[in-house]
């Protein structure tokens, strides 16, 4: 190495000179450098392998259905990534790129999303993904000893897969079944026990060492016919999609589907200055009319502004009947309920 | 990530002034902006990391906390996302212990998983974290080595160092021009927002979450964009560093000269960072109306050639004797000629009388504007040429009528780079090239004459929007005998100009609109010329 | 234990997953002329009068939330159901969606009518695939029966419901994070304002409601809103679905009126504490401050009482802890949870939750030091009110309250470290003249 003698003696005199001007110094360490990598590199399938599995009519139909649900294609990104995981069992890099293309977003964006959410697997998992809750309710009821038990039983640590590729153990946060804690997910099934040859999470049951044994046995028995679930919980037929999206047939909501809003909660209180009306108005009102009953006819007594909180009919007295009619744009609502003016309570003198 | 469409509103000269109370003292601040900018306008600096005036507000660093009096008492708010409202009450660390402690706490959190390697970090000296630490930091560490550090890093790059500590990726080759140090990233999200909102190409993203978050491109892809070096400017830490400047020079040893990039007609404002007579880098200089804080890679990396392949100064008497000969003279001005150069050229044309004709322009194609910091027009001072009544881009005509001329004088214009033009112009017997570089034209010239490069001269230019901007001379001329082109041209015209300001004053005689200005009255961010038809 | 009116759980165990059974039990009766003759404003007023408060945790009045939604802005209005139930101890939405999906659909149609929404999304957390299957089955039936789709029951009103499967992020329970997730982004909370009611999903007005809130609507409309209001306390109407888990005989989901005493819930509904004596109760999910045995004896389960005891009602998830547990170990579980679920946006939360978890780990492993507890308290003070969303406070709060109320548990573990008094070493400071 070319050591520059006397280059640095004092901080104050630290004026390094480069005789030969700016030159890129960037040198990558050779691959032989003795650096211990923390993680093994995950082997990724090629673009062609991934596309051969994903570019099939069935998946394309699902994607079209998903894209029609959101005003922007990016909205379907999580669901499309689920489809990738449903087909491949995990989300390889090329699968993320495929999802980004389907949802018309940048691949880097899709990568950020796919790594943010913990349920997307970035490495292949065993046939049975055993997820154990380690959150507080399950921890109180002894989740950790059970996790130790299954780790010993299968001979692997959490996060690892058995050599036969059958089981992967994961410790996860709350699975939303604290009443059955400790409990687990076997792939997508909540399970505390096996009942009649089915994984079950019955009310009041919790996971025990014996039930874990039964669940493991059940899994081994089903190793060759793992129950297949749709990653998005089945297809919903009949929806119209989101209005304005290619592939959707839905039309925007019509503005006048509901009757126009009437004035609510009209109250009239009278004293010597007249009858004062209060009401509850909707923000869409454009015009308000106050009417007073005169025999069997209704007479208009005033048009308060839609922003007013109170209207006073100077001629009003106790026993008069009022109603209000609101207009919203071009539509006139039905009249409000009739309000009979009552005596206004005398405001109490404030105690000094 | 959040509200990525919220661009901050910045104060302008015309902002209405409102009264707010800072630490119970009434101050007048711009009323249409956020608190951080408003406080800056009255001289109160607020430490911040993620906020950048030309990027959407993300509000994730939580460093710019101030206290605001609200209906529920005094609340901590982030200054960068709080709009100014009249008579609001604000408390800064000057009066509020709570704000002081909150900023201190945030600063401590910021450094929990940040490596302590400032001495070997290339950002040291211009690092936001260092600045904030001096402003708001915890003076004594409270960490124990037992707690350990959780360095941020891509799982694919993480390694275990000699002490058994898991480390993030160092010197990751993230792109052709940029090196990434994953550990030093503080997840401020600025580069992600720049690439998404300004560059319009979302190549970067923060992956994973919590304290495992790391910055990355899509696996197998590189960060590669015409503006990608801007992320090294906006990166508050030493995470993203430019390969061309990495480990070349400590930043506190650099001096800065404000100037204008003369390779594009937008005239991006730049700092010329120099030391020991050498240009070490160009940095964007913020000008809200021109290039904001951005600079294209082309303009930025141009400095690498500023001092290479330079043409030595020539003998001015031989120029004079050539011009004294008979025959028509073609005076050709290139795109990087300043107003002063053009004025002197015009004086020379006047002296030569009818036998001189001025041509201007460049053979480089005009590209569409990119809307960031380039207009695409390589003739930087085209507007200035028009202002002085010179033709703007008529080199085609020169080629057509090349046979008429017996003398060709080119100023900062590489005519012979274009093969077709070279063939036509070769026939002119006397060829003078006033050029900074020993380029094709200088090589073909009968008299090559070296002059100062635009980075070494004082001068002015008018950009494509009619903004009059001034260049300053960085003391980086490789040879003290080199002179600016205007000075040479003026001498040829028989006029003695002792400085650029005199040339600019002459320009005022040719263009009425310039006569009201002197170098002192042109602001560092330029002045908009009124009533100029471009 | 008095028999209480069942609002949300009345169809439990009756096979209401099937539309025919649900209709026989009185379902979809609201989707009739009675609703179609009401204006949007009247429906919102109805909900306001019922005094229904959001059941997700914050307890914001639902009617008021709806009244903030601009109904004639020209933009579509979205209703989003928050079924991203991930808080430790909360599991009511899981059961509600499994047992009675049609009630959620019926409630959503009412909400859709009130707000003029065309599309509604049910954001279900990814782990609840069985719930999604149950909802999708119900949606298929509802579409076939004409309760959803174009021109519902011959009116001009059209409405679609989509189920969106999340993918594992607790933070998506925060409404703006949920909206980001719905938009196909990382689930990171947004800066506010603008609030979602004005500019939420795809910059349109968006109303985010909890599953239980929406499921209360059919009952409110079938009966009178005042009747619902009467079931609860003066400031919050109705009944509440409580989740009781931890050291009790019968953990599970129980519906009870607001204001029920805590000990009644534990002893009468859940069959009492097992495995030891009562040590503490987390009354509103994992992020609230615990109440010790003395406080539990006087606490009632409603918003006001618990707020006055410096804890919170939250989602009504009671976690009962007996005296065989060390609170420091449980806090370590929470530290693990919150440091894992931080979205990584705000600095204090991103770096701080992880640091607190590392300190707690040291303590639990018997390697704690004197001063660690004070350091954690000081760190958790740094969370207060400085982050975009309250996730950091969800850990900071428990750190302060556990260490004050159950300090001896921490000291007991720290005492296991023989070197606990060792001074802090500044490894980074070096002698010398350089730097």
pLDDT digits (tens, 9 = 90+) for C218-247: 999 999 999 999 988 888 888 999 999 999
Judge: B2–C359 Cβ closer than 8 Å, yes or no: no
What does residue C234 show for φ and ψ, rounded to 5 degrees?
-60, -30
Residue B202 lies in a domain: yes
Residue B353 lies in a domain: yes
Name the residue with higher pLDDT: C427 or B129: B129
Looking at B247, B268, B303, the residue that finishes a domain is: B247
Q: Which residue of A has its CA nearest to C118?
A: A253
List, for residues B41-66, the tens digit of each pLDDT value.
999 999 999 999 999 999 999 999 99
Count interface pairs A-C at CB distance under 8 A. 261
pLDDT above 60 for C426: no
Banded model confidence at residue A350, pLDDT cuts 50, 70, 90 = low
Per-residue model confidence (pLDDT) at position A13: 36
Per-residue model confidence (pLDDT) at position A39: 87
Range of the domain at B43: 17-112
List, for residues A47-91, the tens digit of each pLDDT value.
999 999 999 999 999 999 999 999 999 999 999 999 999 999 999
Are C124 and C97 in contact, with CB atoms under 8 Å apart? yes
Banded model confidence at residue C315, pLDDT cuts 50, 70, 90 = confident
**Cα distances (angstroms) measured from residue C168 to each of A22, A172, A178:** 49, 10, 17
Looking at B214, B229, B247, the residue that finishes a domain is: B247
Nearest to C377 by CA among C397, C406, C357, C358: C397
**What is the token pair recorded at B23?**
């630490």
**Angstrom distance (rounded) from CA A138 to CA C11:** 28
What average pLDDT score do residues C20-26 get?
A: 94
Residue A104 lies in a domain: yes
Contacts of B158 in chain A (CB under 8 A): 37-39
Q: What is the CATH number for A106? A: 1.10.10
Of A232, A238, A265, Cβ closest to residue C144: A238
Residue B304 lies in a domain: no
Is B208 in CB contact (< 8 Å) with chain A? yes
Residue A123 lies in a domain: no
User: Which class would CATH give C19-230?
Assistant: alpha beta
**In a shared domain, residues B330 and B466:** yes
Looking at A116, A141, A156, the residue that finishes a domain is: A116
**In a shared domain, residues A107 and A133:** no
List, for residues B361-396, the tens digit of each pLDDT value.
999 999 999 989 999 999 999 999 999 999 988 899
**Angstrom distance (rounded) from CA A72 to CA A103:** 8
Is A25 in CB contact (< 8 Å) with chain B? yes
**In a shared domain, residues B443 and B500:** yes
User: Which class would CATH give C327-414?
Assistant: mainly alpha
pLDDT above 80 for C335: yes
Residue A147 lies in a domain: yes
- Which residues are B77's β-sheet partners? B66
| Residue that has been written with the tokens 């009450």 in this structure | B89
Total-model pTM: 0.93
**What is the token pair recorded at C176?**
């703006």
Residue A228 lies in a domain: no
Q: Is C112 helix (H, G, I), strand (E, B) or coil?
A: helix
Residue A251 lies in a domain: no
Domain C239-322: CATH architecture, name and number where available: Roll (3.10)
| Residue that has been written with the tokens 């308290």 in this structure | C377
Give the distance, in angstroms, between the CA of residue B15 and the centroid of all CA atoms in the same chain: 26
Judge: C343–B112 Cβ closer than 8 Å, yes or no: no
Of C354, C378, C426, Cβ closest to residue B210: C354
Q: What is the mean pLDDT of chain A?
A: 87
Banded model confidence at residue C435, pLDDT cuts 50, 70, 90 = very low
**What is the token pair recorded at A139?**
């921890």
**In a shared domain, residues B62 and B160:** no
Per-residue model confidence (pLDDT) at position A2: 36
Per-residue model confidence (pLDDT) at position A15: 39
**In a shared domain, residues B84 and B211:** no
What average pLDDT score do residues A89-99 get?
A: 96
Per-residue model confidence (pLDDT) at position C364: 95
**Angstrom distance (rounded) from CA A304 to CA A321:** 17
Dihedral angle of Cα C195, C198, C200, C202, to the nearest 10 degrees = -150
**In a shared domain, residues B366 and B480:** yes
Are A178 and C253 in contact, with CB atoms under 8 Å apart? no
**In a shared domain, residues B158 and B89:** no
pLDDT above 90 for B141: no
Are B504 and B347 in contact, with CB atoms under 8 Å apart? no
Q: Which residue of B has its CA nearest to C368?
A: B146
What average pLDDT score do residues B279-308 get?
A: 93
**Angstrom distance (rounded) from CA B375 to CA B366:** 9
**Cα distances (angstroms) measured from residue B316 to each of A71, B342, B489, C110:** 71, 19, 10, 91
Count interface pairs B-C at CB distance under 8 A. 126
Residue B10 lies in a domain: no
What does residue A92 show for φ and ψ, rounded to 5 degrees?
-75, 165
pLDDT above 60 for B294: yes
**Angstrom distance (rounded) from CA C119 to CA C80:** 9
**Angstrom distance (rounded) from CA A131 to CA A117:** 15
Per-residue model confidence (pLDDT) at position B216: 96
List, for residues B157-214, the tens digit of each pLDDT value.
999 887 788 899 888 999 999 999 999 999 999 999 999 999 999 999 999 999 899 9
Nearest C-alpha of chain C: how many angstroms from B81?
8
Nearest to B473 by CA among B289, B330, B279, B288: B279
Banded model confidence at residue C434, pLDDT cuts 50, 70, 90 = very low
What is the DSSP code string of A177-196? Answer: -GGG-S-EEETTEEESEEET
Residue A58 lies in a domain: yes
**In a shared domain, residues B152 and B57:** no
Per-residue model confidence (pLDDT) at position A36: 83
Residue among B187, B218, B243, B305 with most chain A CBs within 10 A, to mutate: B218
Are C320 and C248 in contact, with CB atoms under 8 Å apart? yes
**In a shared domain, residues B410 and B452:** yes
Strands C206-210 and C78-83: parallel
Banded model confidence at residue A7, pLDDT cuts 50, 70, 90 = very low
**In a shared domain, residues B435 and B334:** yes
Residue A2 lies in a domain: no
* Domain total in chain A: 3
**What is the token pair recorded at B58?**
């993300």
Looking at B247, B273, B301, the residue that finishes a domain is: B247
Residue A34 lies in a domain: no
Lowest mean pLDDT, pick from A137-146, B110-119, B231-240, C355-364: B110-119
Banded model confidence at residue C1, pLDDT cuts 50, 70, 90 = low
- Other Cβ atoms less than 10 A from the Cβ of C6: the count is 14
Of C186, C341, C348, Cβ closest to residue B105: C348
Are B197 and B248 in contact, with CB atoms under 8 Å apart? no
Residue B5 lies in a domain: no
Range of the domain at A271: 264-343
Of C164, C244, C435, Cβ closest to residue A79: C164
Sheet with B459-462, side-by-side order of all strands: B459-462, B467-471, B527-528
Are A277 and A267 in contact, with CB atoms under 8 Å apart? yes
Judge: C190–B210 Cβ closer than 8 Å, yes or no: no
Residue B294 lies in a domain: no
**In a shared domain, residues B158 and B75:** no
Residue B263 lies in a domain: no
What average pLDDT score do residues A325-347 get?
A: 88
Per-residue model confidence (pLDDT) at position A16: 42
Per-residue model confidence (pLDDT) at position C232: 87
* Domain total in chain B: 3
Are C115 and C71 in contact, with CB atoms under 8 Å apart? yes
What average pLDDT score do residues C408-429 get?
A: 83
Q: Domain segments of chain C: what residues?
A: 19-230, 239-322, 327-414
Burial of residue A215, with CB atoms counted within 10 A of its CB: 0-12 exposed, 13-18 middle, 19 or more buried: buried
Per-residue model confidence (pLDDT) at position C233: 86
Looking at A116, A146, A173, the residue that finishes a domain is: A116
| Residue that has been written with the tokens 């960490």 in this structure | B143
Residue B123 lies in a domain: no
**C295-300 own/partner pairs: CB under 8 Å, 24+ apart:** C296/C262, C296/C263, C296/C266, C297/C262, C297/C263, C299/C261, C299/C262, C300/C259, C300/C260, C300/C261, C300/C262
List, for residues A276-295, the tens digit of each pLDDT value.
899 998 888 899 999 998 88
**Angstrom distance (rounded) from CA B379 to CA B363:** 9
Per-residue model confidence (pLDDT) at position C428: 52
Banded model confidence at residue B534, pLDDT cuts 50, 70, 90 = low
**Angstrom distance (rounded) from CA B234 to CA C284:** 43
Q: Which residue of A has its CA nearest to C112?
A: A253
Report angle CA C410, C413, C416 to the nearest 5 degrees: 145
- Which residues are C82's β-sheet partners? C123, C210
Residues in chain A: 352
Give the distance, in angstroms, between the CA of residue B99 and the centroid of all CA atoms in the same chain: 35
Q: Where are the beta strands (DSSP E) in B361-415?
A: 405-411
What average pLDDT score do residues C292-308 get?
A: 92
What does residue B244 show for φ and ψ, rounded to 5 degrees?
-70, -20
Looking at A221, A251, A284, the residue that finishes a domain is: A221
Q: What is the CATH number for B159? A: 3.30.70.20
Contacts of C185 in chain B (CB under 8 A): 1
Judge: B243–A26 Cβ closer than 8 Å, yes or no: yes
């Amino acid at each position: 190495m070319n050591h520059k003698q006397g280059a640095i003696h004092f901080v104050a005199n630290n004026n390094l000179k480069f005789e030969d001007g700016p030159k890129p110094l960037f040198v990558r360490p050779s691959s032989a450098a003795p650096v211990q990598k923390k993680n093994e590199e995950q082997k990724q399938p090629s673009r062609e392998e991934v596309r051969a599995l994903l570019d099939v009519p069935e998946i394309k139909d699902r994607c079209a259905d998903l894209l029609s649900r959101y005003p922007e294609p990016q909205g379907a990104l999580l669901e499309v990534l689920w489809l990738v995981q449903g087909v491949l069992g995990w989300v390889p890099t090329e699968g993320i790129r495929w999802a980004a293309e389907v949802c018309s977003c940048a691949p880097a964006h899709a990568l950020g999303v796919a790594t943010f959410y913990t349920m997307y697997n970035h490495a292949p998992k065993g046939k049975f993904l055993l997820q154990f809750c380690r959150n507080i309710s399950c921890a109180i009821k002894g989740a950790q000893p059970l996790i130790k038990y299954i780790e010993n039983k299968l001979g692997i640590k959490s996060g690892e897969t058995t050599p036969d590729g059958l089981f992967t153990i994961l410790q996860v946060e709350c699975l939303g079944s604290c009443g059955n804690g400790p409990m687990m997910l076997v792939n997508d099934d909540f399970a505390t026990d096996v009942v009649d040859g089915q994984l079950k999470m019955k009310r009041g049951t919790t996971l025990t060492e014996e039930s874990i044994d039964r669940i493991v046995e059940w899994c081994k028995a089903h190793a060759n016919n793992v129950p297949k679930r749709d990653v998005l919980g089945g297809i919903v037929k009949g929806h119209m999609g989101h209005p304005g999206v290619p592939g959707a047939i839905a039309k925007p909501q019509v503005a006048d589907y509901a009757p126009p809003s009437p004035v609510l909660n009209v109250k009239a209180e009278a004293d010597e200055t007249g009858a004062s009306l209060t009401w509850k108005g909707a923000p869409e009102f454009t015009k308000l009319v106050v009417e007073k009953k005169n025999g069997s006819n209704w007479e208009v007594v005033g048009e308060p502004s839609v922003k007013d909180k109170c209207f006073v009919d100077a001629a009003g007295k106790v026993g008069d009947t009022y109603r209000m009619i609101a207009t919203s744009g071009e539509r006139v609502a039905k009249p409000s309920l009739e309000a009979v003016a009552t005596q206004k309570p005398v405001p109490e003198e404030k105690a000094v | 990530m959040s509200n990525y469409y919220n661009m901050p509103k910045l104060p302008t000269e015309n902002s209405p002034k409102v009264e707010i109370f800072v630490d119970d003292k009434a101050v007048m601040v711009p009323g249409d902006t956020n608190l951080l900018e408003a406080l800056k306008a009255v001289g109160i600096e607020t430490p911040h990391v993620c906020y950048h005036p030309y990027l959407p507000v993300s509000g994730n660093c939580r460093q710019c906390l101030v206290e605001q009096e609200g209906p529920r008492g005094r609340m901590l708010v982030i200054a960068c996302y709080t709009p100014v409202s009249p008579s609001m009450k604000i408390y800064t660390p000057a009066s509020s212990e709570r704000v002081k402690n909150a900023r201190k706490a945030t600063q401590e959190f910021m450094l929990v998983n940040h490596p302590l390697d400032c001495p070997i970090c290339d950002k040291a000296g211009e690092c936001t974290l260092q600045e904030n630490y001096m402003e708001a930091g915890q003076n004594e560490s409270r960490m124990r080595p037992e707690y350990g550090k959780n360095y941020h890093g891509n799982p694919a790059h993480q390694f275990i160092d000699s002490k058994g500590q898991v480390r993030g990726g160092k010197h990751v080759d993230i792109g052709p021009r940029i090196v990434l140090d994953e550990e030093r990233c503080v997840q401020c999200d600025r580069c992600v927002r720049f690439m998404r909102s300004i560059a319009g190409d979302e190549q970067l993203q923060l992956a994973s979450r919590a304290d495992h978050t790391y910055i990355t491109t899509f696996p197998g892809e590189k960060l590669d964009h015409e503006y990608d070096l801007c992320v090294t400017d906006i990166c508050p830490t030493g995470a993203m560093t430019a390969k061309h400047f990495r480990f070349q020079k400590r930043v506190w040893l650099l001096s800065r000269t404000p100037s204008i990039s003369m390779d594009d007609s937008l005239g991006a404002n730049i700092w010329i960072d120099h030391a020991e007579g050498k240009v070490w880098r160009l940095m964007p200089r913020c000008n809200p109306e021109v290039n904001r804080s951005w600079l294209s890679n082309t303009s930025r990396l141009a400095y690498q050639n500023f001092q290479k392949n330079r043409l030595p100064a020539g003998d001015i008497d031989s120029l004079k004797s050539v011009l004294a000969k008979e025959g028509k003279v073609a005076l050709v001005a290139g795109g990087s000629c300043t107003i002063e150069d053009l004025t002197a050229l015009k004086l020379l044309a006047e002296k030569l009388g009818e036998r001189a004709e001025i041509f201007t322009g460049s053979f480089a194609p005009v590209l569409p504007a990119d809307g960031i910091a380039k207009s695409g027009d390589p003739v930087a001072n085209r507007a200035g040429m028009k202002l002085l009544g010179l033709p703007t881009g008529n080199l085609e005509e020169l080629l057509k009528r090349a046979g008429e001329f017996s003398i060709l004088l080119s100023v900062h214009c590489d005519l012979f780079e274009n093969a077709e033009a070279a063939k036509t112009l070769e026939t002119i017997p006397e060829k003078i090239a006033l050029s900074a570089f020993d380029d094709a034209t200088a090589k073909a010239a009968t008299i090559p004459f070296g002059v100062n490069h635009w980075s070494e001269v004082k001068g002015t230019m008018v950009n494509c929007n009619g903004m009059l901007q001034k260049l300053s001379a960085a003391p980086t001329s490789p040879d003290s005998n080199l002179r600016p082109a205007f000075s040479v041209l003026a001498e040829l015209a028989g006029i003695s100009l002792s400085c650029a300001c005199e040339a600019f004053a002459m320009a005022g005689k040719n263009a009425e609109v310039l006569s009201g200005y002197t170098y002192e009255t042109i602001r560092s961010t330029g002045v908009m010329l009124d009533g100029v038809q471009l | 234990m008095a028999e209480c009116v069942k609002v949300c759980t009345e169809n439990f165990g009756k096979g209401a997953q099937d539309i025919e059974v649900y209709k026989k039990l009185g379902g979809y009766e609201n989707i009739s002329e009675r609703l179609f003759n009401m204006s949007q404003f009247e429906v919102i007023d109805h909900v306001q009068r019922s005094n229904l408060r959001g059941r997700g945790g914050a307890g914001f009045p639902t009617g008021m939330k709806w009244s903030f939604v601009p109904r004639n802005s020209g933009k579509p209005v979205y209703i989003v159901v928050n079924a991203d139930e991930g808080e430790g101890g909360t599991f009511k939405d899981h059961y509600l969606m499994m047992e009675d999906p049609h009630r959620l659909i019926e409630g959503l149609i009412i909400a859709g009518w009130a707000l003029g929404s065309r599309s509604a999304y049910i954001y279900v957390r990814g782990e609840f695939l069985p719930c999604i299957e149950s909802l999708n089955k119900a949606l298929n039936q509802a579409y076939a029966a004409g309760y959803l789709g174009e021109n519902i029951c011959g009116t001009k009103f059209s409405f679609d419901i989509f189920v969106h499967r999340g993918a594992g992020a607790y933070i998506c329970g925060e409404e703006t994070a949920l909206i980001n997730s719905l938009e196909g982004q990382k689930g990171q909370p947004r800066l506010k304002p603008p609030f979602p009611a004005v500019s939420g999903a795809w910059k349109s007005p968006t109303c985010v409601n909890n599953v239980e809130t929406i499921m209360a609507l059919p009952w409110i409309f079938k009966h009178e809103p005042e009747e619902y209001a009467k079931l609860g306390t003066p400031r919050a109407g109705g009944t509440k679905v409580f989740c009781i888990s931890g050291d009790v005989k019968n953990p599970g989901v129980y519906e009870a009126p607001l204001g029920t005493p805590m000990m009644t819930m534990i002893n009468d509904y859940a069959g009492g504490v097992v495995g030891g004596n009562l040590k503490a109760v987390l009354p509103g999910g994992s992020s609230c401050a615990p109440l010790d045995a003395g406080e539990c004896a006087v606490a009632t389960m409603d918003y006001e009482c618990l707020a006055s005891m410096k804890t919170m009602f939250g989602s009504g998830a009671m976690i009962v802890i007996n005296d065989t547990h060390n609170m420091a170990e449980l806090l370590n579980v929470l530290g693990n949870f919150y440091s894992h679920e931080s979205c990584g946006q705000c600095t204090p939360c991103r770096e701080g939750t992880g640091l607190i978890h590392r300190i707690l780990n040291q303590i639990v492993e018997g390697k704690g030091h004197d001063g660690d507890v004070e350091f954690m308290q000081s760190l958790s003070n740094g969370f207060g009110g400085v982050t975009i969303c309250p996730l950091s406070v969800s850990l900071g709060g428990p750190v302060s309250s556990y260490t004050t109320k159950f300090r001896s548990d921490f000291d007991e573990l720290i005492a296991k470290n023989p070197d606990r008094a060792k001074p802090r070493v500044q490894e980074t400071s070096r002698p010398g003249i350089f730097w």
